[in-house]
């Protein structure tokens, strides 16, 4: 219980604390940068409901289960739900935000390459939660 | 299943007894029964996810009910009662008292578990182990949901009664010659985890009642259609259940503190740092609950606060790991079955903590949250650390309880298979999460990486399943036919044991 020196333990604890400070500082800094919405981001209203996603663009066009965006532009999602909690997720672009009835959550992204990506629900929402999926189409800007 | 052979008695005598080793035995048998029941559900889940498409379960609702009851069972009906079993056997002896402080209360706390468990199993609710509104209010089918709520209510009360009993036994009934600074670390682990229960559980108890009245339509606390706020429930829930994860893990760490020095044939490296880490964890554990809610739309400031609170708890866990390794260092280690489980558990504890740090870092959590990563993360704790520590301890106390030895080879095979299986299932699930697979899904699209990872995980689960059958056979067979244990030193490692046997019911 005593009689041995404790300095290796203190060094070890100091290293762990230093590591945690480093992780925390990096995370704080990165999150601060990713949360900064660029000026002029186009707004897309996202509605989750059991068990599909609807999207409304600024010009009023609506899409169900599919979302078409243009490469190189920035978009801000305004996410909300009509019934229970869902979570709007485009994993390839690390877009993840809960859709919660009674409030609007926002998250933004700027697609960098032309292509298609999966859209899915990441919060349990009942019977067809597993198939509350959609597709993101990133396209060349229309002329 | 496990019979106290030293002094065989009819079963009803044990059932109506209030003596701590009898209540401990009841806890033990009940928790192991639920381990196998909950484990069977896990195998069904893994079989279903082996390939895309419906495999063995016809519909998503059944699948959703299965994973809900799986999680609820293993947390509330295996881990907690198992800890109570060990606490009942050991805590009174470690503080040198004749029984628990309130023996009748002790028996009542135990007897609340069967009705609680029955409500959960007969209802078979589908709203996941956290019953989040508004789904749980407006969408989850009753009466299953209501039965779950009542079941959890009862289990929560049982947990509070048990915690009061441990706190009083340790603080008030310990032998007058013994200072609190001499109470063994296993008993300290019960003191700290019981104190956490007393502070944490009332919040969830309130939330459950509010959920119930919301379901009945007479209130709208969490129902946005009635002006309520579903996020409020998440705060109440995690205020209870983040600290509760330490309630689950701390007794398992305490069990390792009993096993590691014994089989290293050395005293614990630092008794004081063990206590310090327990108490620190119990306090700091209350500052991190909303790390489960980064994606619920919290502000940057809120997220930062809870990230710092989470990272602040990490050094306390790290201290235990150091303490274990330093104890084993230069020890004459004997790798009997309990020691193998404990050492394996520590390795997995370390990996689990490392993954937890990644979750805690806010930007990374948006990749891992609600994906299979999180499933992997917490299973490295609940299975890799807690079940490993518990099963190791079960082997350790087996000769004390039955007077006989288990089969050592089978115990080691059980460990090796379970360890390999655990790595295959839960490390793989971390990767699966990084590939983006959401948790709680009945089916998934045929993405090649997802299929491969799911198959590895399912194979791992089957390996664990087979090893658990060996375990069951070993326990049943050895409790009746195993060779008689040397009751002074069953493991041949010397030293003084805490020996529940001797404390056998002085009243009978
Ligand atoms: C080093 C210590 C730990 C850290 C840093 C940590 C961190 C985290 C974080 C940030 C999450 C949220 C992940 C998400 O949902 O996105 C999480 C989830 C979880 N952790 Fe830990 N954790 C630690 C220890 C533990 C322990 C000791 C246990 C249990 C004994 C545990 C059990 C859980 C559970 C059950 C969940 C997920 C609950 C759910 O969503 O169903 N964690 N952990
Ligand atoms: Cu969903
Ligand atoms: Cu937590």
The overall longest dimension of chain B from CA atoms, in Å, is: 66
- Mutation for B interface: A6, A7, A8, A16, most B CBs within 10 A: A16
Q: What pLDDT sits at residue B480?
A: 86
Number of domains in chain A: 2
| pLDDT at residue B502, rounded to an integer | 45
Note whether A34 contacts B: Cβ–Cβ < 8 A. Answer: yes
Tens of pLDDT, residue by residue over B178-229, are 899 989 999 999 999 999 999 999 999 999 999 999 999 999 999 999 999 9
Tracing tokens 């682990």 back to the chain, one arrives at B189
Of B455 and B93, the one with more pLDDT: B455
Report the predicted TM-score, pTM, of the whole model to 2 decimal places.
0.93
Let me know: does B243 contact B275? Beta carbons within 8 Å. Answer: no
The confidence score (pLDDT) of residue A8 equals 86
Name the residue of B196, B346, B362, B381 to mutate for ligand 1: max ligand atoms within 8 A of Cβ. B381
Q: Which residue of B has its CA nearest to A20?
A: B311
Q: How many residues does chain B have?
A: 508
B199: tokens are 């502070």
Chain A residues with CB-CB distance to B439 below 8 A: 122, 124
Handedness of CA B485, B487, B491, B492 (dihedral sign): negative
* Residue B87 binned pLDDT confidence (cut-offs 50, 70, 90): very high
**Ligand index nearest the alpha carbon of residue B382:** 1
Q: Are B147 and B119 in contact (CB under 8 A)?
A: yes
Same domain (yes/no): A46, A25: no
Residue B6: per-residue pLDDT = 57
Instruction: Work out the minimum CA distance from B293 to partner chain A, whole angstroms.
Output: 9
Same domain, A66 and A129: yes
Report the CATH number that the domain containing residue A89 is assigned in CATH. 2.60.40.420
CB B371 within 8 A of CB B444: no
pLDDT of residue B499: 52
ipTM of the complex: 0.93
More confident site: A143 or B355: B355
Check: CB of residue B155 under 8 Å from CB of residue B112.
Answer: yes
Q: Do both A70 and A109 map to the same domain?
A: yes
Q: Please check whether residues A28 and A72 belong to one and the same domain.
A: no
* Number of residues assigned to chain A: 143
A6 plus A66 within the same structural domain: no
Comparing B486 with B80, the larger pLDDT belongs to B80
- For the four alpha carbons of A77, A83, A87 and A90, in that order, the dihedral sign comes to negative
**B496 confidence band (pLDDT: 50, 70, 90):** low
Read off the pLDDT of each residue in B394-422 and give the average, rounded to a whole number. 94
Q: How, if at all, do strands A134-139 and A66-70 pair?
A: parallel
Using a CB-CB cut-off of 8 Å, the residues of chain B touching A90 are none
Which CATH superfamily hosts domain B11-502?
Cytochrome c oxidase-like, subunit I domain (1.20.210.10)
Task: Please indicate, yes or no, whether residues A9 and A55 belong to a single structural domain of this protein.
Answer: no
Per-residue pLDDT band for B506 (boundaries 50, 70, 90) equals: very low
Examine the pLDDT at B503 and tell me if it is beyond 50: no
For residue B442, give the 3-state DSSP assignment: coil
Cα B42 from chain centre: 15
pLDDT at A69: 96
Domain of A95, in residue numbers: 42-139
pLDDT of B233 strictly over 80: yes
In this structure, what token pair is assigned to residue B414?
């059980």
Q: What's the pLDDT score for residue A1?
A: 43
For ligand 1, pick from B82, B291, B370 the residue to mutate: most ligand atoms within 8 Å of CB: B291
Choosing among A82, A95, A127, A133, which should be mutated to test the B contact, i.e. which has the most B CBs within 10 A? A127
Are both A31 and A91 inside the same structural domain?
A: no
pLDDT tens digit string along A85-130?
999 999 999 999 999 999 999 999 999 999 999 999 999 999 999 9
Task: Report the alpha-carbon distance of residue B258 to residue B270 in Å, rounded.
Answer: 13
Q: Are A49 and A97 members of one domain?
A: yes
Answer whether the bond into residue B217 is a cis peptide, omega within 30°: no
By the CB < 8 Å criterion, does A15 face chain B? no
Taking CA atoms, B426 is separated from B44, B346, B355, B367, in Å, by 16, 15, 11, 17
Query: pLDDT (tens digit, 9 = 90+) per residue, A18-70?
Result: 999 999 999 999 999 999 999 999 999 999 999 999 999 999 999 999 999 99
By the 10 Å C-beta count (0-12 exposed, 13-18 middle, 19+ buried), B179 is classed as: exposed
Q: What is the pLDDT of residue B54?
A: 85
Distance B292 CA to ligand 3 centre (A): 6
Q: State the CB neighbour count (10 A cutoff) for residue A45.
A: 16
CA nearest ligand 1 atom 12, residue: B292
Residue A76 and residue A8 share a domain:
no
List pLDDT tens digits, range B283-305. Answer: 999 999 999 999 999 999 999 99
For B473-491, what is each residue's pLDDT tens digit? 999 999 888 888 887 788 8
Q: Is B482 helix (H, G, I), strand (E, B) or coil?
A: coil
pLDDT of B403 over the 90 cut: no
- For A121, the closest chain B residue by CA position comes to B438
How far, in Å, CA of B69 to CA of B148, rounded?
9
Residue A66: enclosing H or E segment and its boundaries?
strand A66-70
Cβ contact A89–B438 (<8 Å) = yes
Give the ligand with the smallest distance to the CA of A49.
2
Residue by residue, DSSP assigns A81-136 as: ESSS-EEEEEGGGTEEEEE-TT--EEEEE---SSEEEEEEE-S--STTGGG--EEE
The partner residue sitting opposite A98, judged by closest CB among B229, B297, B314, is B297
> Averaged over B68-94, what is the pLDDT?
95
Residues 54-113 of A with CB under 8 A from B: 83-85, 87, 89, 91-92, 94-98, 100-103, 105
Judge if A63 and A111 occupy the same domain. Answer: yes
First CA to last CA across chain B, in angstroms?
Answer: 22
Integer Cα distance of B110 and B24 in angstroms: 9
Mean pLDDT estimate for chain B: 92
Mean pLDDT of B148-176: 96
Q: Which of B136-140, B338-342, B498-502 has the lowest mean pLDDT?
A: B498-502
Report whether pLDDT(B156) > 50: yes
* Whether residue A67 sits in one domain with residue A110: yes
For B230, residues 6+ apart whose C-beta sits below 8 A from its C-beta are: A85, A100, A101, A102, B132, B133, B134, B222, B223, B224
- The region of weakest confidence among B267-276, B458-467, B481-490 is B481-490
At residue B112, the pLDDT reads 97
Instruction: State the Cα angle at B470 between B465 and B473, rounded to 5°.
Output: 125
Longest Cα–Cα distance in chain A: 79
Output DSSP code: residue A56.
E
């Amino acid at each position: 219980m005593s009689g041995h020196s404790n300095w290796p333990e203190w060094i070890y604890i100091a290293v762990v604390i230093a590591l945690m400070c480093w992780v925390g500082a990096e995370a704080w800094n990165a999150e601060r940068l990713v949360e900064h919405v660029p000026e002029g981001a186009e707004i897309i209203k996202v509605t989750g409901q059991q068990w599909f996603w609807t999207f409304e663009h600024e010009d009023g066009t609506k899409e169900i289960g599919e979302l078409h965006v243009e490469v190189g532009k920035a978009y801000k999602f305004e996410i909300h739900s009509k019934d229970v909690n869902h979570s709007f997720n485009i994993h390839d672009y690390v877009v993840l935000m809960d859709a919660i009835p009674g409030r609007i959550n926002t998250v933004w992204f700027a697609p960098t390459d032309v292509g298609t990506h999966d859209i899915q629900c990441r919060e349990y929402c009942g019977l067809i939660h597993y198939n509350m999926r959609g597709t993101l189409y990133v396209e060349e800007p229309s002329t | 299943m496990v019979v106290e052979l030293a002094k065989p008695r009819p079963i009803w005598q044990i059932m109506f007894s209030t003596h701590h080793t009898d209540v401990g035995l009841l806890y033990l048998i009940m928790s192991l029964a639920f381990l196998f029941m909950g484990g069977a559900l896990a195998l069904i889940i893994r079989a279903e996810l082996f390939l895309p498409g419906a495999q063995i379960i016809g519909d998503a609702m059944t699948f959703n009910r299965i994973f809900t009851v799986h999680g609820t069972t293993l947390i509330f009906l295996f881990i907690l009662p198992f800890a109570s079993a060990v606490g009942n056997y050991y805590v009174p002896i470690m503080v040198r008292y004749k029984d628990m402080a309130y023996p009748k209360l002790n028996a009542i706390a135990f007897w609340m578990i069967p009705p609680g468990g029955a409500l959960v199993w007969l209802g078979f609710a589908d709203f996941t182990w956290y019953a989040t509104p508004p789904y749980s209010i407006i969408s989850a089918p009753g009466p299953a949901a209501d039965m779950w709520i009542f079941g959890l209510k009862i289990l929560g009360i049982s947990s509070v009664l048990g915690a009061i009993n441990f706190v009083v036994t340790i603080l008030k009934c310990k032998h007058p010659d013994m200072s609190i600074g001499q109470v063994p670390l296993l008993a300290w682990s019960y003191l700290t985890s019981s104190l956490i229960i007393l502070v944490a559980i009332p919040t969830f108890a309130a939330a459950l009642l509010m959920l119930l009245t919301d379901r009945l339509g007479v209130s709208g606390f969490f129902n946005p259609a009635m002006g309520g706020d579903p996020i409020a429930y998440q705060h109440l829930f995690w205020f209870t259940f983040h600290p509760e994860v330490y309630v689950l893990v701390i007794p398992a760490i305490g069990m390792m503190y009993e096993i590691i020095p014994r089989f290293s044939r050395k005293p614990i490296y630092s008794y004081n740092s063990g206590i310090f880490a327990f108490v620190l964890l119990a306090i700091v554990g209350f500052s991190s609950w909303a790390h489960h809610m980064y994606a619920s739309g919290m502000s940057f400031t809120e997220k930062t606060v809870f990230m710092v609170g989470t990272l602040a708890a990490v050094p306390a866990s790290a201290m235990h790991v150091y303490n274990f390794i330093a104890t084993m260092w230069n020890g004459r280690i004997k790798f009997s079955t309990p020691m193998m489980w404990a050492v394996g558990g520590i390795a997995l504890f370390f990996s689990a903590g490392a993954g937890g740090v990644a979750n805690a870092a806010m930007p990374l959590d948006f990749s891992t949250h609600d994906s299979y990563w999180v499933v992997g993360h917490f299973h490295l704790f609940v299975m890799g650390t807690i079940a490993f520590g518990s099963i190791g301890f079960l082997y350790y106390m087996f000769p004390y309880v039955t007077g006989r030895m288990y089969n050592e080879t089978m115990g080691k095979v059980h460990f090796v298979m379970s360890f390999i299986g655990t790595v295959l299932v839960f490390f793989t699930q971390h990767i699966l999460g990084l590939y983006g697979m959401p948790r709680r899904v009945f089916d998934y699209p045929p993405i090649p990486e997802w299929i491969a990872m799911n198959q590895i995980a399912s194979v791992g689960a089957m390996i664990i399943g087979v090893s658990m059958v060996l375990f069951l056979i070993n326990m049943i067979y050895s409790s009746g036919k195993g060779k008689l244990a040397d009751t002074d030193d069953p493991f041949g490692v010397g030293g003084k044991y805490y020996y529940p046997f001797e404390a056998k019911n002085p009243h009978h």
